[in-house]
Copies of this chain bind each other. A is one copy, B any other.
């Protein structure tokens, strides 16, 4: 089980929206379990668990840990592929329609925070693209992979290390590009605000110190 795994398929985000599937993943981070053991833990039928596992394995969130022969049966034990999933739109354009639907829903939900936006279709695609570029900037994935294999660094230390190593490894040119992407993302988002309302102002800009 890796400390962190980046998932860039919007289908994975869809799967994690379901509470039962998340509970299965939490169990499989704590222990390797068979389908019938998971069923007992979560008080569900093995059929229901099997149905979820069949979706989680191809999405690379769950994997077969080992198989044990018990009399004439083969018992399959599953485990989670990582302790943390880091979700990103990526830049592959894979399942674009699904990614756009999710972003559209997110933008519409801003209303619940009293932030009024007008969702423009062409902007949605651009926002996803820019966010994906930021999240996968500078071979971040390779760096996380390298860090995850290190010995003598604990689970939290690895996450801190990946973040510090990312920042320190960027060349001046890359860092400038990264800043530009952040500016582009904010500009795209701000462009959706409806002129009459604007975002809710923060009551105070004071921070704890």
Contacts and interface: CB of A to CB of B under 8 A. Distances in A.
A190 B202 contact: no
A147 B31 contact: no
B150 A199 contact: no
A83 interface: yes
B42 A110 contact: no
Interface in A136-161: 136-139, 143, 146-147, 150, 152-157, 159-161
Given A27-B26, A161-B106, A113 B156 contact: no
A90 B208 contact: yes
A112 B150 contact: yes
A92 B30 CA distance: 32
Interface stretch (A48-56, A62-70, A164-172): A164-172
A29 to B, nearest CB: 4
Contact of A157 (B27, B90, B106, B202): B106
Contact of A167 (B137, B171, B185, B208): B185
Nearest to A155: B17
Given A109-B153, A193-B168, A199-B169, A26 B29 contact: yes
Given A167-B189, A168-B189, A169-B202, 9 more contacts: A17-B157, A30-B42, A91-B208, A106-B157, A106-B164, A110-B165, A168-B192, A171-B201, A182-B182
Interface of A: 13, 16-19, 22-24, 26-27, 29-31, 41-42, 83, 87, 90-93, 102-103, 105-107, 109-110, 112-113, 115, 117, 133, 136-139, 143, 146-147, 150, 152-157, 159-161, 164-165, 167-171, 174-175, 179, 182-183, 185-186, 189-190, 192-193, 199-202, 204-205, 207-209
